[in-house]
Amino acid sequence: MPDRNSSADPSLVLDLLVAFRRSKAMFAGVKLGVFDALETGPQSLESLQQQLNLSNAARRLLDALVGLGLLERTGDRYANSAAASAYLTSHSPHRLTGYVNFSNRLSWRLWEHLEESVQEGTHRWSQTFGDDQPIFAHFYRNENDKHEFLMGMHGFGLISSPHVVAAFDLGPFRKLVDLGGATGHLTMAACRRYPSLRGCLFDLPEATPLARELIGASEVADRIDVVDGDFFEDDLPPADLYALGRILHDWSEEKSLRLLKKIHAALPAGGALLVAEKLIQDDRGGPDWAQMQDLNMLVCTEGRERTLGEYQQLLQTAGFTQVSGQVTTAPVDAILARK
């Protein structure tokens, strides 16, 4: 009997077999300060070794980063690629280094226990770190970690939020309140696109100082307020449009439904909720970005990613009608639910 597997293409399996190595090489470049060191200009291997206190093995990492397209090499001198300068240096306004460091320090270790998460259906915080503190306690454990995590989310939001606020016509709305809006990237994107819209960022007191700084430096600062609060516990500022950007995927069905009912009750008739999350296809066949994020939510949180149909069911249970979804070209999609 012929071997049916003899002609199967192994490239997919081989690529996935080493995919984590590519991620870890990028994480190491950020942690060791490679991209920051090169932001002042090209440097030789010897210069980088001395500056960053690295061994001769540095050449192996640097060459790997060249192969990944994150560095460029001319002769014996290395330089950042455009992508590395924009997203992997600690002083870039578009940086994703906070998210990279979260992935390296926390997410990497949680994913080691994916099998147990699948078996038990629960996150791995206690197993990995020995405590059951809320997830955001780990992100906010000191001022530097908090700042870098929020800036990582800000860089992610700068990529996604302009697409989210353009997915539907938000022109008829007068006041947007972004619940748990972190640095205000979505609020600023909405106010830039809709000149008559006023905005309000509502988030925990730990997050709002940075939001005030970033919003205050923007050209739409005069139309955006920043208010401290906990959307589970406190009254919501009045609005005819609320937003939840990458919030619902953090929480259980029960907590999500409780929050959505609270938002629905606060909205006037004709008001709406804008949700920014990555949508899994209705047949659950992809996209792989959403599926991988779904597994990340499994090991990290009590939440999950959903299909549009699942969001429609959740939002309609909370009282919303006319729930529509739009897939974007960004890492986050958009859903609009009307009261």
CB 178 within 8 A of CB 201: yes
- Tokens representing residue 83 in the block: 């992508």
Give the count of alpha carbons within 13 A of 137, CB side only. Answer: 6
The one catalytic residue among 123, 154, 249, 264: 249
Three-state secondary structure call for residue 294? helix
- Tokens representing residue 5 in the block: 């597997």
Sheet hosting strand 175-179, strand order edge to edge = 224-228, 198-203, 175-179, 241-245, 272-277, 333-338, 321-326
**DSSP annotation string for 102-118:** HIIIIIHHHHTTHHHHH
Instruction: Say whether 91 is catalytic.
Output: no
DSSP E strand stretches across the chain: 43-44, 71-74, 77-80, 175-179, 198-203, 224-228, 241-245, 272-277, 279-280, 306-307, 321-326, 333-338
Three-state secondary structure call for residue 79? strand
202 Rama class: left (phi>0) / alpha (psi -120 to 50) / beta: beta
In 183-287, where does DSSP find H-type helix? 185-193, 208-216, 253-266
Q: How far apart are CA 149 and CA 259, in angstroms?
A: 24
- Tokens representing residue 94 in the block: 């578009």
Amino acid letter, residue 133:
Q
Q: How far apart are CA 37 and CA 79, in angstroms?
A: 9
Q: Which residues are catalytic?
A: 249
